[in-house]
Amino acid sequence: MFPHKILVTGGLGFIGSHTVVELQQAGYEVIILDDLSNSQLFILDRIKAITGIAPKFYQLNMLEEDKLHQLFLQEENIAAVIHFAAHKAVGESVAEPIKYFHNNLYALINLLRCMEQFGANNLVFSSSATVYGDPDELPIRETTVFKKAMSAYGSTKQMGEEIIEKTCAAKPINAIALRYFNPVGAHNSGLIGELPLGIPNNLMPYITQTAAGIRKQLLVYGNDYDTPDGTCIRDYIHVVDLAKAHVKSCDRLISKNNSEKYETYNIGTGKGYSVMEIINAFEAFNHLQLNYSISARRPGDAKAMYADVSKAGKHLGWKASLGLQDMVTSAWYWQQQLSNAH
């Protein structure tokens, strides 16, 4: 019996690379497609260094439908596709909405067309908690009503989900959309992790770069929210736990255990931490001090977001196992490896 073949688009990115490692370690054969627009080729060697297996790699932009078509022609019997490849910078998406709609939606549409044509009928979609907008209820359930997306990036995730849902209703395709809360941390080998382009927007890479002396000072965006310490609350999830949710999703689709043709799952720990709790944990567990100060609120930030993760537990058999200490220590270890390499 040959191992099942999984096509991972965006497989050299932050979440993609960790997912490739977990898939290989679970016995899947992995094919990576990536255009290297926001990732680096050396990650391919790092994956091999961790697992001992070199994944097959196609450097390809999914907007080039002919080339995508060629890939499907060449790779027979793709058991499932995990689709990560997308632009993801929230601020840039507000400034350049067309760039985001064009890239993220056409890539998905081209992929679905190829999947339909070649009978590759299982899809795991990289969605985001951003689909909920600023939610009315906490914890957030999969049934929580979507509010208006706060960025074009968020709109592409909402629209992406809708495109997939409608396609599943009409075609033999089955899909699982995973709505990630706040992915952080890195592989404990220190060989793969997040590689933000330029100045990071997200909290954890900003913290690690400040600790490494690359950034002078971390700004805490507001301490006057209606939360216990006044700073915003998020559901941070270790990227290795997150990667494992993709393996479980492939297992479920390939074994035809899904109860609906299109399913959605929140992927978080279910526990919210404030910005100050993250800073304090980072300092305490890594034995260092961060230079930070309180500044004004960042426009568009929700006061608090954390998931009800019971559906993923019940149907995917998945639950986060790594806690805050693992998140902050692995993120810092990765940053140190990166800083040493330069």
Catalytic residues, by residue number, are: 153
H/E element, 246: helix 239-254
CA gap 179, 10 in Å, rounded: 17
Q: Does residue 227 belong to the site contacting ligand UD1 (CB under 6 A)?
A: no
- Cβ distance 236 to 8 under 8 Å? no
Candidates 50, 90, 152, 191; binder of ligand UD1 (CB under 6 A) is 90
- Of 16 and 154, the one with the shorter C-beta distance to ligand UD1 is 154
Q: Confirm or reject binding of residue 301 to ligand UD1 (CB under 6 A).
A: yes
Which residue in 116, 221, 230, 337 binds ligand UD1 (CB under 6 A)?
221
Among the listed residues 26, 138, 195, 219, the single contact to ligand UD1 using CB under 6 A: 219
Considering only residues 103 through 162, tell me which ones interact with ligand UD1, judged by CB under 6 A: 128, 130, 150, 154
When binding is defined by CB under 6 A, the residue of 182, 208, 266, 330 that contacts ligand UD1 is 182
**Residues paired with 29 in a beta bridge:** 5
Find how far residue 21's CA is from the centre of its chain: 14
* Binding residues for ligand UD1 restricted to 233-252, rule: CB under 6 A: 234
Q: Give the residue with the Cβ less far from ligand UD1, 72 or 132.
A: 132
Structure tokens at 6: 């999984």
Q: Please pick, from the candidates 15, 68, 78, 232, the single residue that binds ligand UD1 as defined by CB under 6 A.
A: 232
Nearest distance in Å: CB 119, ligand UD1: 32
Choose one: 4-12, 39-47, 77-85, 214-222; the region binding ligand UD1 (CB under 6 A).
214-222
Beta strands in the chain (DSSP E): 5-9, 29-34, 56-59, 78-83, 122-128, 174-180, 182-184, 218-221, 233-234, 236-238, 262-267, 273-274, 292-295
Give the tokens for residue 46: 């790092």
Cβ at position 231, least distance to ligand UD1 in Å: 7
Q: How many CB atoms lie within 10 A of CB 250?
A: 23
Residue 161 or 168 having the CB closest to ligand UD1 = 161
298: which DSSP letter? Answer: P
| Angle (nearest 5°) at CA 63 between 57 and 68 | 45
Q: Which residues bind ligand UD1 (CB under 6 A)?
A: 90, 128, 130, 150, 154, 182-183, 201-203, 206, 218-221, 232, 234, 275, 298, 300-301
